[in-house]
Amino acid sequence: MTAQAHRQEPEAAPGARPDKVPPPGQEEKTVTQPRAAKVAAADVAPNIRRGGDVRTLLTPRSVGATSGFMGTATIEPGQYIAEHYHPYSEEFVHVVRGRLRVRLDGEPVDVRPGEALFVPIGVRHRLENTGDEQVSVVFHLGPLAPRPDLGHVDTEELPHPDAPHGGAAPADPVTGSRP
């Protein structure tokens, strides 16, 4: 017997889907095969278009996530993330550092370190740092919109509309490394 006869193919991770060609119009949804992966915030380009420093870490593009995406936001004193809403997704926000003020449909809600806030689908929200220290949050959105361009609706002028979108690059499907 040859060595190849004893070689076993690695089993797919639980919940992983086999590689399939997506139907027309769905190509942008299937970018990377789902797998366990680690992404460092320092390796992700920031998105400052809406204000603050937003970094999407675990996404369909970066790790093949299929139910939502997760990231971090850093907001300096006096800065904000412009008001917007998500027509398909709930948002979960956990404050790690600083004092965050979130305006939900215009009503202020203060969130302190160790506290979390749930933002239902369709609720307008604006994240503000009204304190004198940096705010750091972790957020998750889910479920995913049918297409990325449908997932976020801006309801006020963006502070930096011409800035790049940022985000994590897709990992190499074989090595798992990123450019």
Q: Write the pLDDT tens digit of every residue in 20-76.
A: 444 444 545 445 677 788 999 999 999 999 999 999 999 998 999 999 999 999 999
Domain span at 127: 47-158
Does residue 175 belong to any structural domain of this protein?
no
Does residue 59 belong to any structural domain of this protein?
yes
pTM: 0.74
Does residue 178 belong to any structural domain of this protein?
no
- Is the per-residue pLDDT at 152 higher than 90? yes
Does residue 30 belong to any structural domain of this protein?
no
Quote the pLDDT of residue 31: 58
- Is the per-residue pLDDT at 1 higher than 60? no
Rounded to an integer, the average pLDDT of 156-165 is 85
Contacts 24+ apart (CB under 8 A), 117-120: 117/92, 117/93, 118/90, 118/91, 118/92, 119/86, 119/90, 119/91, 119/92, 119/93, 120/90
Q: 118 near 90, Cβ under 8 Å?
A: yes
Rounded to an integer, the average pLDDT of 137-160 is 95
Q: 171 near 177, Cβ under 8 Å?
A: yes
Residue 129 CA to residue 110 CA, distance in Å, equals 10
Residue 6 CA to residue 22 CA, distance in Å, equals 33
Does residue 107 belong to any structural domain of this protein?
yes
Does residue 90 belong to any structural domain of this protein?
yes
Does residue 29 belong to any structural domain of this protein?
no
30: nearest Cα among 81, 7, 64: 64
- Is the per-residue pLDDT at 179 higher than 70? no
Question: How many domains, in total, are found in the chain?
Answer: 1
Does residue 14 belong to any structural domain of this protein?
no
Q: Measured between alpha carbons, how far is residue 79 from residues 22, 75, 170, 178 in Å?
A: 40, 6, 29, 30
Give the CATH number for residue 152.
2.60.120.10
Q: Write the pLDDT tens digit of every residue in 64-109.
A: 999 999 999 999 999 999 999 999 999 999 999 999 999 999 999 9
Rounded to an integer, the average pLDDT of 131-145 is 98
